[in-house]
Amino acid sequence: MTAQIGRPVNRVEGLEKVTGAAHYTADTPIPGVRHAVLVQSEVSHGHVAAASLEMAARQVAAAPGVEYVLTSLNCPPLNPIPRDLTWDLPFERRPPLSDLTVQYRGQHMAVVVADTLERATQAASLMRLEYQLCPAVLTARDASDTYQPDHFVKLTEEKLQDHRGPHDEPDGEIVSARFTTPENAHYSIELSATIAQWDGDHLTVHDSTRWISGERRVLAAYFGIPVEKIRIIAPLVGGAFGSKSFMWMHVALCAVAARAIGAPVKLVLTRDQMFTSTGHRPPTEQTLRLVADDTGRLTSIEHHTTSATSMVAHFCEPAGLSTRFLYQTPRLVVSHTVARTHTPTPCFMRGPGEAPGLFALEVAMDELSYAIGVDPVQLRITNDTHEDQTNGSPWSARHLLDCYRQGAQRFGWNERPIAPRSLHRNGVQVGWGMATATYPGRRMPAGCRVTTANDGHLTFASATHEVGNGVRTVMCQVAADSSGMPLDRVSFASGDSSFPEAPYSGASQTTAAVGSAVHLAAQQWKLRLLTLAAHELHCATTTLDIRDGMIVGPDLTRAGIEVGEILASVTTGLREQLNFACESTGAPDSGPVSQSFGAHFCEVEVDEEIGRATVTRWVAVMDCGKVINPKLARSQVIGGITFGLGMALLEQVPYHPGTGHLLGEYYVPTHADVPEFDIIFVDSSDTHLTPVGARGIGEIGVCGVPAAVANAIFHATGRRLRDLPITLEALITPFDLEEIG
């Protein structure tokens, strides 16, 4: 039997995507649908007078085609959602349109519903609100309302405040620096879209979401109805990076409007609205302090982070999580402070915590390597740890040293001159840099249903999501190997809350969580079928197996018996035993710790005359457990690296410092900005985390990338840059005015 796991299988939905036939939320045909457009606040903090709002709503309601205007004056009361959601996850604590206060620029103030999108857009543009302004806190530095949360997510042991070892800092070589990262936007290709439709007290929502099971729960809480009366459908999701991992306020308002007018309502956010309505990575300010002895061994690490959240929700960017365990040190101090500001609610974004946190840690490690005269790779090898320092447990299938050594060899790191400004090419400076990557191996409980057609074709289904990472393809590969069926006789369905429940598609856990459920369902299906076959063939179940869709055994012909033939010979009642659902558990509660690791090596050319940094070459070696599909895995890592290049050199959401209004443009990498990629994976398998040995790949690619770029720029120019993004102003060589004159 040809194993499917480990093969570079093409995406099962790939043809639909490249031909334009792929079906996304906004493409859903709904008869009689009305169109909704959001009206957002134009100020960061204040109040709206009820009389002003009422007058504006009346004027808009009189516009051509308008059927309904939803505001805080006529919005039916929505119940608060449970505290466990508003604390652990970035849901707003107050229901939308519940009062007349404004807590951030872009806050939803009204929803205009009309018979066409054009009329709804025109009418919404007519809504003029009068605000009573209040002082606004726009940055964490200006905030007086701060707090220090204990944990990143309370279900995990990821402490945000940690102190190990002696109270006092030891003597030694010290590197102390401040790092900043700006607000980043998810900027996914697909705009967030929602279509809500009521049938009596049953609600159906088509939504571009990565958490259909959780969205049911939130909507049920808002409307006070059982979750069984809500169905969420998310066909394909066109990118998210965290922005669609939770239910945002526009989804609830769309459902409110649909119930009010008794017709389906479609609401698609604009690109501008995505910046304020679906989360972002909050800005951070970090201080790193490293102490090492004369052998290069770390004796102390301190990492302190301040980030911002909104006035109406909790979220902490956990930049210090990786610092707690990545390098061996007898003394560690990590803290996180969150400041409340009058800005939109932030949320998880690809590599939450790790992406900005490793930028600071890995640049500081590079600086330490120069301070003590040790090669950056060797410094990391010297401080490698064989156990998770947060709890003393050993690592499960950890191969970080292999990542360093293989990456250095493939990149040619041993030819790197130590001194900055030593490499030149075509009149520009050339630099080489590297950094460590890491991300947790996670797995939550997940369910899977298997349905058997009369011809033996298997359909596996789970309430997970295809967000562009190839989950449908990978699940088919797992199902084929675990059931013994050929790949063309299995399929995988997702994106419907009527399927068995699955966790949100985030935190690099879908392959581990849902893949384990698919593996379990396929194994149970195989055992059930072999039991039926053994009864029909009058032999012991243990003598039979399924290979490439054929039942084989020592007493059968060499070719065996086709599965469909056995199914045709049993009664309908017995065949029903092959249609069932099951649930796999989450990650083990004890034992080794599952964590993915990797190493990035890059080359950067810096033209100091025009301030341009160009990344020309990249080698990444990843230790992510068993790679189910190397083609998709490589694409995921390339996508993550490209994401990190944007973070390093381009991306920042620009605001007016006095008003908080968006300014300028948001730049992201294009094809011309990406280097030549050499991506390889360490051959390993983490069977402690999952039965198929896989860990997640989606998040780790971005982790460490900005630091590798910054370190390469230092090697090229001798400039230690600690603020992202690294712009041309930081790279350009100042003109000598006397020379010019």
List pLDDT tens digits, range 463-503: 999 999 999 999 999 999 999 999 999 999 999 999 999 99
Beta-bridge partner residues of 550: 547, 562
Task: Return the percentage of the chain with pLDDT > 90, whole number.
Answer: 86
CA–CA separation, 7 and 629 (whole Å): 5
Instruction: Please say if the pLDDT value at position 155 is more than 70.
Output: no
Please write the tens of the pLDDT for every residue from 396-446.
Answer: 989 999 999 999 999 999 999 999 999 999 999 999 999 999 999 999 999
| Secondary structure (DSSP) of 315-337 | ----TTTGGGTSS--S-EEEEEE
Average pLDDT over residues 307-327: 96
Can you give the pLDDT at residue 657? Answer: 82
Amino acid in position 306: T
| pLDDT value at 1 more than 80 | no
pLDDT at 738: 47
| Amino acid (one-letter) located at 17 | K
Q: Does residue 246 register a pLDDT over 50?
A: yes
pLDDT interval class at 154 (50, 70, 90): low
Residue predicted with more confidence, 311 or 89: 311
Q: How many residues does the chain have?
A: 741
pLDDT of residue 656: 85
**Cβ–Cβ contacts within 10 Å for residue 441, how many?**
26
Q: What is the mean pLDDT of the chain?
A: 94
Instruction: Name every residue whose Cβ is closer than 8 Å to that of residue 657 and which is 6 or more positions away in sequence.
Output: 138
Task: Classify residue 1 by burial, with Cβ atoms within 10 Å: 0-12, 13-18, 19+.
Answer: middle
pTM: 0.95
When pLDDT is averaged across residues 202-226 and rounded to a whole number, the result is: 95
Given this model, what pLDDT does residue 687 score?
94
The structural domains of the chain, ordered by start, are 25-135+189-239+244-278 (3.30.365.10), 350-441+590-739 (3.30.365.10), 444-584 (3.30.365.10)
Residue 735 has pLDDT above 60, yes or no: no
Pairwise pLDDT comparison (741 vs 541), residue with the higher score? 541
CB 601, CB 715: distance < 8 Å = no
Tell me how far apart the alpha carbons of residues 401 and 545 are, in angstroms, rounded to a whole number. Answer: 40
pLDDT at 435: 98
- Asked if residue 450 lies in contact with residue 579, where contact means CB atoms within 8 angstroms, the answer is yes
Question: For residue 664, how far is the Cα from the chain centroid?
Answer: 26
pLDDT of res. 104: 96
pLDDT confidence of residue 740: 36
Q: Is the pLDDT confidence value at 299 over 50? A: yes
Mean pLDDT computed over 167-193: 95
Q: Which amino acid is at 503?
A: P
Is residue 597 within 8 A of residue 400, CB to CB? The reply is yes
Nearest to 526 by CA among 501, 498, 548, 499: 548
**pLDDT of amino acid 125:** 96
| Confidence band, pLDDT 50/70/90 cuts, at residue 739 | very low
What is the chain's Cα-based Rg? 28
| Lookup result for tokens 């959602």 | 81
Query: 514 and 475 in contact (C-beta within 8 Å)?
Result: yes
Asked if the model's pLDDT at residue 558 lies above 80, the reply is: no
Whole-number Cα distances in Å, 587 to 35, 413, 449, 509, 595: 43, 37, 20, 10, 12
Calculate mean pLDDT across residues 162-183: 96
CB 102 within 8 A of CB 43: yes
Q: Summarize pLDDT for 273-294 with one digit per residue, the tens.
A: 999 999 999 999 999 999 999 9
pLDDT band, residue 655 (cuts 50/70/90)? confident
Residue 664 is predicted with a pLDDT of: 81
